[in-house]
């Protein structure tokens, strides 16, 4: 059996171990849900307090100029860009992932006027499917659902855009971004990626892979806090043709000219809509400093090490749980998922024992492994408690069967 000492030895040799101190984690909690809501970076509290006490209270509206509020969407966007392999001037932090997805899919149809098919996959995150269906309906296009494991066979010259989530929210299955983007380009279509479960956890190379458009989430592995602004990537070569449907004044070339008609900004700011939520944006900006000096390749190496340990321990000690994530590390993002008929009750019982994961329909226990603050001993302790919860059948207690609004 892999002992706790072996896990502790992996932590002792972990080059990223010191990063955990950049987070303000509650004592005794094993947090394996950073893929849903990232933990609180220590840099956030002082930044938000500064925004409240100095920038807002004292500097008031002058802050748009003097405290860099106006430039914040692009400045934060560039910081995110550095984590996803995007050069400066191609990413803005704004709105939510769902809203941004609407913008980029609608813009993509406009960029391919002679085509009318949006391809996505049936297991994509619900918001992605709903938004794609809505864009298709409103634009008179067709939504084509592809085989998640064989995207290429759904691609042909009628396809305007193929929209996929890079790492599956449910199973952690990860696409080969370069290969799929290449196949999409081979039929002349545009590749849109949802990076919700990738940004900050998996090394990405949007520019090098030739990605056209992308969206992603600020509150998962980027740790921007509940409801943090999301982001949009528009490859530089497409910016002049990128016409998104929500033509708000922050996307205007000269917002304070108060011109009667909309004229888009020359660059990626045309993806903006309205006034940014500065409290949230300041929190996200501060949160991103947790990545300062961090090599994403090292993050990935630790993520693989954590997930391999998790899988090995569960298969050794809790054989009722069936691996729902790909076994091959190269095909997995930074989460591991297991199927169990009582997954929901077990997830709730585990939370009472301070192991926080989550549940996804129909019977999946999902554990996110945020390498900046999750340790190998956390994985070992989590599996130990999982074994306890199942062996003692603690999960049978009625309180663990009651469904909460958020699972
Ligand atoms: C793949 C994916 N896209 C989008 C979202 C959420 O979008 P929003 O922030 O607009 O709620 C999630 C949330 O978990 C997600 O997993």
The C-alpha atoms of residue 314 and residue 238 are separated, in whole angstroms, by: 46
47 φψ region: left (φ > 0), alpha (ψ -120 to 50), beta (else): alpha
- Decide if 70 contacts 304 (C-beta within 8 A): no
- The residue nearest atom 14 of ligand 1, judged by CA position, is 36
pLDDT at position 145 is 98
**Pairwise CA distance, residues 144 & 219, whole Å:** 30
Q: 366: part of which helix (H) or strand (E)?
A: strand 364-368
User: What pLDDT, on a 0 to 100 scale, did the predictor assign at position 406?
Assistant: 87
Compute the average pLDDT of residues 225-245: 98
Q: Is the pLDDT of residue 266 over 90?
A: yes
Phi, psi of 250 (to 5 degrees): -75, -15
What order do you get walking across the sheet with 117-120 strand by strand?
91-94, 230-234, 213-216, 190-194, 159-165, 117-120, 142-145
- Judging by beta carbons within 10 Å of its beta carbon (0-12, 13-18, 19+), is residue 328 exposed, middle or buried? exposed
Token pair for 261 = 């008609």
Identify whether 219 is a catalytic site residue: yes
**Is there a catalytic annotation at residue 194?**
yes
Task: List, for residues 156-203, the tens digit of each pLDDT value.
Answer: 999 999 999 999 999 999 999 999 999 999 999 999 999 999 999 999
Give the Cα separation of 266 and 42 in Å (integer). 36
Find where tokens 């298709």 sit: 136
Residue pair 107/244 in contact by the 8 Å Cβ criterion? yes
Element (H, E) at 385: helix 376-391
Would you place residue 6 in the very low, low, confident or very high pLDDT band (cuts 50, 70, 90)? very high
Distance CA 85, CA 169 (A): 21
The position carrying tokens 């050794």 is: 316
Q: Which of 79, 103, 144, 366 is catalytic?
A: 366
CB 320 within 8 A of CB 346: no
Nearest atom in ligand 1 to the alpha carbon of residue 127 is 4
pTM of the predicted model, to two decimals?
0.97
Residue 50 CB burial class (10 angstroms; 0-12, 13-18, ≥19)? middle
Taking residue 132's Cβ as centre, other Cβ atoms within 10 Å add up to 24
Selection from 109, 10, 54 nearest residue 278 by Cα: 54
* Residue 261: DSSP 8-state: S
The confidence score (pLDDT) of residue 1 equals 80
Q: What is the DSSP letter of 290?
A: G
- Provide mean pLDDT across the span 343-361: 95
- Pick the catalytic residue: 23, 31, 125, 169? 125
Residues 206, 125, 323, CA angle at the centre, nearest 5°?
Answer: 95
Ligand 1 atom closest to the Cα of residue 169 is 16
Are 153 and 134 in contact by the 8 Å Cβ rule? The answer is no
Catalytic, 106? Answer no
User: What is the rounded CA–CA span in Å between residue 175 and residue 75?
Assistant: 29
- What residues form DSSP beta bridges with 337? 366
Q: How far is CA 349 from CA 6, 200, 389, 399, 401, in A?
A: 27, 29, 7, 9, 9
Quickly tell me which residue has 């193929």 as its tokens: 162
Q: Model confidence over 49-61: pLDDT tens digits? A: 999 999 999 999 9
Q: What is the pLDDT of residue 407?
A: 80
**Rounded mean pLDDT of the chain?**
97
CA trace torsion 49, 201, 271, 229 (10° rounding): -30
CA 196 to ligand 1 centroid distance, Å: 6
Query: Which residue's CA is the nearest one to ligand 1's atom 6?
Result: 97
d(C-alpha 366, C-alpha 159), whole Å: 33
Give the span between the Cα atoms of 150 and 175, in whole angstroms: 11
Q: Label the pairing between strands 142-145 and 117-120.
A: parallel
Q: What crossing angle do the helices spanning 126-139 and 97-111 adopt, rounded to 10°?
A: 40
| pLDDT tens, position by position, 368-398 | 999 999 999 999 999 999 999 999 998 999 9
pLDDT band at 35 (very low <50, low <70, confident <90, very high): very high
Is residue 322 pLDDT above 90, yes or no? Answer: yes
H/E segment holding residue 100: helix 97-111
Ligand 1 atom closest to the CA of 230, numbered from 1: 9
Active site residue 220: yes
Catalytic residue status for 366: yes
Q: List ligand 1's pocket residues with C-beta within 6 A.
A: 96-98, 125, 127-128, 165, 169, 194, 196-197, 217, 230
- Rounded to the nearest 10 degrees, how much is the dihedral formed by the CA atoms of 131, 134, 135, 138? -160
Residues 300-315 have pLDDT tens digits of: 999 999 999 999 999 9
């Amino acid at each position: 059996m892999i002992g706790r000492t072996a896990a502790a030895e992996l932590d002792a040799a972990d080059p990223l171990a010191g990063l955990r101190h950049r987070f303000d984690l509650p004592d005794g909690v094993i947090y394996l849900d950073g893929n849903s809501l990232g933990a609180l970076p220590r840099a956030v509290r002082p930044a938000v307090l500064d925004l409240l006490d100095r920038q807002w209270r004292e500097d008031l509206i002058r802050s748009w100029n003097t405290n860099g509020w106006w430039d914040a969407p692009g400045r934060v966007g560039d910081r995110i860009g550095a984590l996803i392999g995007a050069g400066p001037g191609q990413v803005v932090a704004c709105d939510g992932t769902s809203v941004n997805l609407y913008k980029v899919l609608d813009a993509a149809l406009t960029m391919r006027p002679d085509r009318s098919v949006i391809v996505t996959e049936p297991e994509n995150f619900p918001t992605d499917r709903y938004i794609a269906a809505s864009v298709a309906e409103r634009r008179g296009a067709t939504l084509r659902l592809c085989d998640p494991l064989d995207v290429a066979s759904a691609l042909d010259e009628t396809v305007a855009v193929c929209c996929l989530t890079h790492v599956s929210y449910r199973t952690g299955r990860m696409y080969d971004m370069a290969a799929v983007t290449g196949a999409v380009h081979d039929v002349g279509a545009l590749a849109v990626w949802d990076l919700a479960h990738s940004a900050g956890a998996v090394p990405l190379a949007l520019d090098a892979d030739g990605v056209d458009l992308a969206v992603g989430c600020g509150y998962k592995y980027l740790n921007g806090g509940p409801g943090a602004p999301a982001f949009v990537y528009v490859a530089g070569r497409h910016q002049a043709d990128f016409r998104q449907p929500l033509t708000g004044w922050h996307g205007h070339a000269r917002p304070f000219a108060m011109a009667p008609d909309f004229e888009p900004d020359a660059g990626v700011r045309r993806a903006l809509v309205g006034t940014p939520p500065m409290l949230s944006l300041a929190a996200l900006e501060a949160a991103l400093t947790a990545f300062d000096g961090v090599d994403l390749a090292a993050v990935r190496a630790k993520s693989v090490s954590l997930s391999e340990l998790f899988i090995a321990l569960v298969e050794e000690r809790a054989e009722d749980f069936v691996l729902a994530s790909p076994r091959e590390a190269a095909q997995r993002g930074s989460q591991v998922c297991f199927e169990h008929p009582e997954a929901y009750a077990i997830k709730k019982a585990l939370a009472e024992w301070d192991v926080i994961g989550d549940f996804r329909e129909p019977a999946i226990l999902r554990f996110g492994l945020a390498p900046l603050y999750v340790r190998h001993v956390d994985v070992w302790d989590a599996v130990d408690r999982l074994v306890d919860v199942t062996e003692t059948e603690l999960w049978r207690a009625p309180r663990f069967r009651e469904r909460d609004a958020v699972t």
